[in-house]
Amino acid sequence: MVKQESIFSFYYLRTISCLGIVLLHFLSGSIGLYKSVITKNELLISQISLNLLLWCVPCFVMITGALLLDKNKELSIEKVLKKYVLRILEALLFCCVIFIIYDTVVHKEPIGLYMIIEMISDFFLGNSWSHLWYLYLLIGIYLLLPIYKIITNNASDKLIKYLLCIYFLFLSLIPMLEVFGIHIAFYIMVSSIYPFYLFFGYALHHEIISIKRYQSLLMFVLSSLCIILLTIFNQENSYYNFEPLLNNYSSIFVVIQSIGIFSLVDSIKWKKSTWVKKVDALTFGVYLVHMIFIRSFLKYMSINPFLNIPVINITMLVILIFILSLLVVMVLKKVPIINKFI
């Protein structure tokens, strides 16, 4: 039986994940711009913090699976195309336009026909700002949802578990062995870990798979400790490159960490909160616009968050960026047409 009260767990998890993504992108931008002028320890701590935040995107995908693969959810091809795919395409086009205007203004370039050509190129070739990769991922997931729904609507619990085992084995565990020079010849015709997250979110939320709360916590803590140790070892060691096990959503440690935090949050009976529900409704828009503030502060205002007390600087700036993004999205939700997809 579906836990109806758990919908509030998704409100909380999406809000926390969104804040985590803002922090992740802020740290990534800070490292990229100021890597050469910070200490080795500051770089290491920043990289550890960044690697520990990779669970945010998988949790978004698992929530999508839990909600949209529900057997009681009606999902025709027409509904998928008109409601879900079209919304993401509109958001993607909006971002490509806004970001090309932003780049043109800050670089003081002349406005001309080339902007339209570049915007079209960015839209189709994915050359716009890097965080928009998630929108292309969503489009791919939504296009396949009618097929995925056939699986969840008709497959037994045993078959769902079998599918998850195959995905985990071939898309996370076997690729990990290549880090150590072990190349397994067997493979399946799926190249992305995201269908695993989609189906796992469904299976866990609908109790096909059961993970106790202490097990979830243990999974999250142990995988996080492994990520910390591997990050330290990766910086000190030149023989093995452990980057594929760190900055990678298919990393076995990121998979276990993501499952741990998703199942832990979903198992808690959260207090019903109006403000969390309202913030949750803004998280998609925050994801779209937050990079404008990160890029403005770090690159064009030349703010180095590593000066003086980095922890306080980073915390305050991330909170400020999150709040500014929320305010912008609240305004955009009042604008006709834009409010349909933001």
Task: Decide if pLDDT at 4 tops 60.
Answer: no
With cut-offs at 50, 70 and 90, classify the pLDDT of residue 247: confident
Amino acid in the structure at residue 218: L
Q: CA 218 → CA 213, 250, 257, 270, 325, distances in Å? A: 9, 20, 9, 20, 34
The token pair at 245 is: 């096990």
From the list 169, 160, 161, 162, the residue with the least C-alpha distance to 188 is 169
| Residue 236, H or E segment | helix 213-236
Could you report the per-residue pLDDT of 18-34, keeping only the tens digit for each? Answer: 999 999 999 999 999 99
Say if residues 318 and 22 touch (Cβ distance below 8 Å): yes
Q: Say what the pTM is.
A: 0.93
Helix ranges (DSSP H) in 206-333: 213-236, 252-267, 274-280, 283-295, 310-332
Helix ranges (DSSP H) in 69-85: 77-79
Task: Decide if pLDDT at 260 tops 60.
Answer: yes
With cut-offs at 50, 70 and 90, classify the pLDDT of residue 239: low
Amino acid in the structure at residue 314: I
With cut-offs at 50, 70 and 90, classify the pLDDT of residue 238: low
Say if residues 132 and 139 touch (Cβ distance below 8 Å): no
DSSP state of 301: S
Q: Tell me the average pLDDT of the chain.
A: 93
Cα–Cα distance, 30 to 295 (Å, whole number): 10
Amino acid in the structure at residue 3: K
Could you report the per-residue pLDDT of 265-276, keeping only the tens digit for each? Answer: 999 888 888 899
Angle between helices 194-205 and 252-267 (to 10 degrees): 30
Q: What is the CA radius of gyration of the chain?
A: 21
Cα–Cα distance, 34 to 30 (Å, whole number): 6
Task: Quote the pLDDT of residue 113.
Answer: 83
Residue 111, SS3? coil
Q: What is the number of H-type helices and E-type strands within the chain?
A: 15, 0
Residues in the chain: 342
- What mean pLDDT is predicted for residues 161-188? 91
From the list 29, 17, 23, 30, the residue with the least C-alpha distance to 49 is 23
Distance of CA 33 to the CA centre of its chain: 22
For the chain, the first-to-last Cα distance in angstroms comes to: 32
Cα–Cα distance, 243 to 253 (Å, whole number): 12
- Give 241 or 44, the one with higher predicted confidence: 44
Task: Quote the pLDDT of residue 2.
Answer: 42
Task: Quote the pLDDT of residue 87.
Answer: 97
Q: CA 328 → CA 18, 289, 315, distances in Å? A: 15, 8, 20
Could you report the per-residue pLDDT of 276-294, keeping only the tens digit for each? Answer: 999 999 999 999 999 999 9
